[in-house]
Amino acid sequence: MFSHAIVRVPGKSLINGLSDSKDLGLPNYDNAIIQHTSYIEALKSCGLEVNVLEPCEKYPDSTFIEDVALVTPECVIITRPGAPTRRDEVSQIDSVLRKEFMNIEYIEVGDDYLVAKMPVTPDTHQPDGVLHGGVTAALAESVGSAASSIRANLDTHFVRGIEISANHLKSVSDGFVIATAKAIHLGRTLQLWDIRVCDENDQLVSSCKLTTITLPKKQ
């Protein structure tokens, strides 16, 4: 049984969304907001905690959030929408899901560093009961990418991770891990981060390197 839901409020750009019908006409934005509000209330009445995301005007169809991510009790599957105009919606939901499922909490930020912590739970374990290396790598990439994003003008540019390496040195089965991303190189286009993932006793769990790229959005 699911206990959480993620929804995105329709944007005014909804009228420019994809449609395979020539008979229905353009969507009515005001009606869409009323219907979406009722949808949220229906989810809450079922006992769900609802995470309501802000409208994303750049992507008219992004309110149909279920098209880009399939959530199961075991994993999340990020899809690749067939319509080219929808493919960048994936990056919009990816960061939300990482935070939702990994419970990453950003706790300290500076000019050239960012610190976050994440609980180690059965949801993040590999089969033998210790923190999964893939989750550790995802944590490192999330923190490094967030650090690059803080420095970027996200109205005009976007940030992507292009290479990550991770050396896992110690097992952790419970408590928290703390990831500290420190800048090695902060270029206009490329950024290189050293990310140390430690346990609550400041013992090194994983040593990671991440390269991110910052590029202008297409106009």
Catalytic residues: 141
Distance separating alpha carbons of residues 36 and 27, to the nearest angstrom: 13
DSSP conformational letter for 124: G
Biggest alpha carbon–alpha carbon distance for the chain? 64
Using DSSP's 3-state secondary structure scheme, residue 117 falls into strand
| Residue 105 · residue 98 · CB < 8 Å | no
Angle (nearest 5°) at CA 211 between 174 and 200: 20
CB atoms closer than 10 angstroms to residue 61? 22
- Could you give the CA distance from residue 159 to residue 170 in angstroms, rounded to a whole number? 30
